[in-house]
Amino acid sequence: MSATGSVLRSFVGANGLKRAAFPALALLLALSALVLSVLVSLWWLLALAFALALLGLGLHDMWQQRSALLANYPVAARFRWLALDLRPFFRAYMVEDDEEGKPYSYEARRLVYERAERASSTHPFGTELDPYAEEFVWISHSMAPVAEPEKDPRVRIGSEQAGSPYAASVFNISAMSFGALSANAIEALNLGAKRGGFYHDTGEGGISPYHLKHGGDLVWELGSGYFGARDAKGRFDPAQFAEQAQRDSVRMTEIKLSQGAKPGHGGLLPAAKVTPEIADTRKVPMHQDCLSPRGHAAFSTPVEMLEFAARMRELSGGKPVGIKFCVGQPHEVMAVMKAMRETGILLDYIVVDGAEGGTGAAPLELSNSVGMPLQDGLIVVRNALVGSGLHQQVRLAASGKLYSGAGLAECLAIGADWGNAARSFLFSIGCIQAQRCHTGTCPTGITTQDPARMRGLDPEVQGQRAANFQSATVEALMEIVAAAGLEHPRDLRPHHVHHRISASKSLPLDHIWEFLPANALLDAPEETAYARWWEAADPHSFRPRIDLGVARARAPGIAEADY
């Protein structure tokens, strides 16, 4: 009784009554509705029921202890929660300007939507960007543009050790797993890949029936969980791998070391989302948590990783094999190069995932603060390949926040051979950036396993939209290539891309970053900004062979004088 009295006393007086305004009004409405229902009409009983419900809610809020704000402002505090829930939608639709939205601006999303619909994506009255603002980027054109650039530029992937090389498009669908995406979303993306002549990366969730239904080209990604190619203890199963990898639609295989959104984190698909279909695809028990460990069990050193890759290539029938990772410590990248040179085992390609990427949910600290952004990581790997004399055999791909021909051109100028994208392809099949990917309540049926929600996503319609978007983006890329006086995207170079440093200064990329000449790390590593990273690289360990702190290792592009 004393506790009850204490709660009620806290709302005595003008200030207390103001804080409890909603319960007080509910009490007043209840008494009035009771009298009116007796004297006037029984319809007032509806108002009485509403008032009693509101009063009950107010009394509950007064006595609950979970929220101090709700205890002090019963009912009223709930409007704050409602406003916070609606805030992202009001900002997206009413407050943000065209360039303000995160992670993708309205202008970026609109560009994808227009291209997916085959609507005109031309822009009237000039750019709305400030060309004198820092970080403004432009691509240098030529006085002698090319009249007829290639219409469908392709990239041959496959070293001399690959028996079945693959001619890939310059723009493809990045890794997104069945389980993270719905069956209809996977089917739509693969149908788009089939119609557009580009590839669809499976993500680490295995090859589902929806990846195979339309026969679009697949890159099968194998993560630390070895989903779709694992035994009962979660170890790599060569027989299962060979059976899947030798399918005609699987054109390449890929070892996932890390991803941009959460490098070094692994992942977990909760038991509630492990449906019978997902369990069968991943070869895991139904209705149990599905864990992707932080690291691989099949190898622990660069040399062992290459031996595993060679085994995958053999089991697949000679199809190209590559690795995907978000760049972290540069000496590890150099160690992979040294391992290839020491063993003679070549990767066929490397995909660099930028830290700004990520379709799934991840801890905020990892998304915001771990891993190199795409451009920085791409430059490190490009220099490692070129400096170690491996770039003629090992292809390089960029995977990150790509949605336009201009962004793709910038990555290709840095040194990538092609680009992959995930979120922009999700936009093409209907994503509205509601950012409910991890809740199972995706409003467009893309990132959910709820049949009622995914029903609204028609693979036939959305698959064509994905194909339209890819085709229009490649066409825009080739417009840029032709304007630069080139015939193929592989001819783009760092000097074609300019970054504004300040209002009065701009520089081409090769004046901002160091781009190593061929074999520089073999011939004279001490003359490069990568000298200490190269010295620290050990092909038999991912650990540095020297103390980098003592060695005062320099980050790429930073002068010794800056330390």
Q: What are the pLDDT tens digits along the chain (563 aa)?
A: 466 777 777 888 888 888 889 999 999 999 999 999 989 999 999 999 999 999 999 999 998 988 888 899 999 999 988 888 877 777 777 667 666 777 888 889 999 999 999 988 777 778 888 888 888 999 999 999 999 888 899 999 999 999 999 999 999 999 999 988 999 999 999 999 999 999 999 999 999 999 999 999 999 999 999 999 999 999 999 999 999 999 999 999 999 999 877 777 777 777 877 889 999 999 999 888 888 888 999 999 999 999 999 999 999 999 999 999 999 999 999 999 999 999 999 999 999 999 887 666 667 777 777 889 999 999 999 999 999 999 999 999 999 899 999 999 999 999 999 999 999 999 999 998 888 887 888 899 999 988 999 999 999 999 999 999 999 999 999 999 999 999 999 999 999 999 999 888 999 999 999 999 999 999 999 999 999 999 999 999 999 999 988 755 444 544 443 32
Strands 250-256 and 321-325: parallel
The DSSP element (H or E) to which 448 belongs, if any, is none
- Location of structure tokens 């006086």: 485
- Location of structure tokens 């065209």: 98
- Whether the bond between 209 and the residue before it is cis, its omega within 30 degrees of 0, is no
Q: What is the pTM of this model?
A: 0.87
pLDDT attached to residue 361: 65
User: What region does 412 belong to: left with phi over 0, alpha with psi -120 to 50, or beta?
Assistant: alpha
pLDDT attached to residue 412: 98
The DSSP element (H or E) to which 126 belongs, if any, is none
- Across 370-395, b (16+ Cβ under 10 Å) vs e yields bbbbbbbbbbbbbbbbbbbbbbebbb
What's the rounded Cα separation, in Å, for the pair 49 and 34?
Answer: 10
Cross-strand bridge partners of residue 396: 350
**The amino acid at 344:** G
| Token couple for 132 | 């004198």
Phi, psi of 138 (to 5 degrees): -140, 160
189, 355, 364, 206: which is closest to 292 by C-alpha? 206
Strands 166-169 and 171-173: unpaired
Cβ neighbours for 209, distance < 8 A, ≥ 6 positions apart: 277, 281
Burial level of 268, CB count in 10 A (0-12/13-18/19+)? exposed
Question: How big, in percent rounded to 5, are the helix, strand and coil portions of the chain?
Answer: 45, 10, 45
Q: E strands, 266-391, where?
A: 267-269, 290-292, 321-325, 349-353
543: number of Cβ within 10 Å: 12
pLDDT attached to residue 121: 75
- Location of structure tokens 């660069």: 302
Q: Are 397 and 418 in contact (CB under 8 A)?
A: yes
**The amino acid at 61:** D
What are the start-end ranges of the H helices in 294-371? 302-315, 330-343, 364-369
CA-to-CA dists, residue 59 to 24, 27, 68, angstroms:
10, 11, 14
The DSSP element (H or E) to which 398 belongs, if any, is strand 395-399
358: number of Cβ within 10 Å: 23
Q: Are 259 and 326 in contact (CB under 8 A)?
A: yes
pLDDT attached to residue 559: 46
pLDDT attached to residue 143: 96
Cβ neighbours for 505, distance < 8 A, ≥ 6 positions apart: none
| Token couple for 170 | 């310059």
pLDDT attached to residue 562: 39
What's the rounded Cα separation, in Å, for the pair 103 and 406?
Answer: 18
The DSSP element (H or E) to which 153 belongs, if any, is none
Q: Are 378 and 412 in contact (CB under 8 A)?
A: no
Q: Are 285 and 252 in contact (CB under 8 A)?
A: no
Phi, psi of 531 (to 5 degrees): -55, -50
What is the SS3 assignment for 425? Answer: helix
What's the rounded Cα separation, in Å, for the pair 415 and 360?
Answer: 27
